[in-house]
Amino acid sequence: MKKILVLCTANSCRSQLAEGYLRYFAGDKAEIYSAGVRSTGVNPGAIATMKEDGIDISGHTSNAMEEYKDIDFDYVITVCDNARENCPFWPGRSIHIHHAFPDPAHATGSAEEIKKAFATTRDMIKEYCQDFVAKHL
């Protein structure tokens, strides 16, 4: 079984969305983890936008990448430039993949505009995860 780690800056939004979709699309083909350069808690907007698409991430936790330093991951996916720049060397055979997504946690404007920013990033990450699973698992 493949082990996949998704990293972003705070493990609050983008990596949480990716963890949710990778778990959904990979099923029992992989163990999925997510972490951040630092841990700040799961963003309520991430939980809400995933719920709109039928995926419950309300039980996810926000973790710091140091918690997983002893796991031999097959893939380490960074979903923001900050995580890529601060990603430690992962020993073993890890394949590092980078794909930056906009951070909806920094969206401004009306409640509807912020909700749309979350949905836009969610849909981008969903497509990426579906493609990743098809190509790599």
Q: Annotated catalytic, 13?
A: no
Q: Are 21 and 125 in contact (CB under 8 A)?
A: yes
Q: What is the pLDDT of residues 29-83, one digit of tens each?
A: 999 999 998 899 999 999 999 999 999 999 999 999 889 988 999 999 999 877 6
For the chain, the structural domain boundaries read: 2-136
Q: Annotated catalytic, 129?
A: no
CATH entry 3.50.50.60 includes domain 2-136: no
Residue 107, C-beta contacts closer than 8 angstroms, at least 6 positions apart: 113, 114, 117, 118
Average pLDDT over residues 15-22: 98
List the catalytic residue out of 5, 6, 7, 8: 8
Q: What is the pLDDT of residues 79-110, one digit of tens each?
A: 987 766 766 556 667 899 999 999 999 999 99
